[in-house]
Structure 1
Amino acid sequence: MWWHNLGITPLEGLWVVLSAFGIYAAFFVLIRLAGQRALASWSTMDKAIVIAFGSVLGRVVLGYTPTLAAGVIALATMFALFRLEALLRRTRRGAYLSSTPILLMAGDQVVASGLRAARIVEDEVYFKLRQAGIRNFSEVGLVILEPTGDVSVLRRGELIDPVLLSRITDKGSIPAHLLLPG
């Protein structure tokens, strides 16, 4: 048969699709359990671990004897799942797929509940403050862990439009004097 020339049978191709779906779903759940911190800035060790993960995931998806056809099927499946997830995120029901921004600091006060929810420590926040050029806590307006894993540092000075903070957790910790009236 022609598929033997490709190195994969239709049944093996189906297993590649199912494996790719299973790994994608498992990875999604594990990232959600690990929290947004898993997506934040990575150390050298984190990068090495990601490379190792990629190798393990590739072997699981492609099966015992990887072939070009299996690789193409797996890649197409992963891209299709990625696109499906992006489409679902745009729907009202897709909100559960997205993380919410987490408030880490409000003014010069660290928000302990935000640190716990983000699974990060104060030293990591201080690192991000230094990266943003903050020299003194009095310069800090808000520090937010974004759904992407990035940390936003908003400086004091200009009032912050509350619309920009609509999905942030623990909004009650934000001092009113930092916000535009409204």
Structure 2
Amino acid sequence: MLESLFGVPFDGLLLILVSTVGVFATVITYTRIAGLRSFSKMSSFDFVMTVAVGSLVATVAVSRSSLLEGMTALAALYLLQVAIALLRRFSPFKQAVDNKPLLLMADGTMLRDNMRRSRVTEDDVKSKLRSANVRNLDSVRAVVLETTGDISVLHGPGELDLSLFEDVRDARRIGGGGA
């Protein structure tokens, strides 16, 4: 009866159910082992990892792939994530995997060339400025597009510690450092 209703034999539906539960439990387990980075704001590598895990889960759930094959593929992906997280500690590798943060605003002036390069609009920046309780553009010291896609706003009186900007593209433009 189920086969005529769903077009799939009962044992096929049962296999999909068991595979889905198994691969879901595997994702939870591997994510716990790999750490919280799996749920953090995503860099481009983290996004690729998330898409790959989702694709594997879907494939195992509805294909003839065995649960063990899916678990093995997921283990390989999570091991790759851990390995890349460790390798990111080395500058050349980090530069190859991650985008560098980009300065979008310096000393109250929007850097439209950088905004264009990163496809961030003036309205996007203004929205973040409002969220950061900026009342006057002149009080904005720096706005940075982070590697995760977040926008950081630094404003208010006092000197900026320029070491905070060592990895930020165009940081030389802070403090009247030129265009």
Q: Structures share a fold, TM > 0.5?
A: yes
Q: Which amino acid aligns with 1:69?
A: L
Does 2:150 match 1:150?
A: yes
Larger Cα-atom Rg: 2
The equivalent of 2:6 in structure 1 is none
The answer to whether the 8 A contact 1:129-1:153 is kept is yes
TM-superposed deviation, 1:156? 2.8
Does 2:38 match 1:73?
A: no
Distance 1:107 1:60 in 2: 50
The answer to whether the 8 A contact 2:56-2:73 is kept is no
Distance 1:118 1:87, change over 3 A: same
The equivalent of 2:40 in structure 1 is none
Gaps of 5+ in 1: 1-30, 33-37, 39-50, 178-182
The equivalent of 2:138 in structure 1 is 138
TM-score, normalised to structure 2, is 0.62
TM-score, normalised to structure 1, is 0.61
The share of aligned pairs that are identical, in percent, is 33
Q: Give RMSD over aligned pairs.
A: 3.2
Q: Cα deviation per residue 1:49-94 (whole Å; 9 max; x = unaligned)?
A: xx99865454458883243223311221111110111122112431
Distance 1:90 1:61 in 2: 33
Q: State the structure with bigger RCO (CA 8 A, min sep 6), 1 or 2.
A: 1
The equivalent of 1:85 in structure 2 is 84
- Tell me the number of residue pairs that the alignment of Structure 1 and Structure 2 aligns: 132
TM-superposed deviation, 1:145? 0.8
The answer to whether the 8 A contact 1:132-1:153 is kept is yes
Distance 2:91 2:109 in 1: 34
The equivalent of 1:175 in structure 2 is 175
The answer to whether the 8 A contact 1:100-1:146 is kept is yes
The equivalent of 1:12 in structure 2 is none
**1:152 aligned counterpart, secondary structure:** strand
Distance 1:60 1:116 in 2: 38
Q: Which amino acid aligns with 2:84?
A: E
Distance 2:60 2:114 in 1: 36
Distance 1:61 1:112, change over 3 A: farther
TM-superposed deviation, 1:173? 2.0
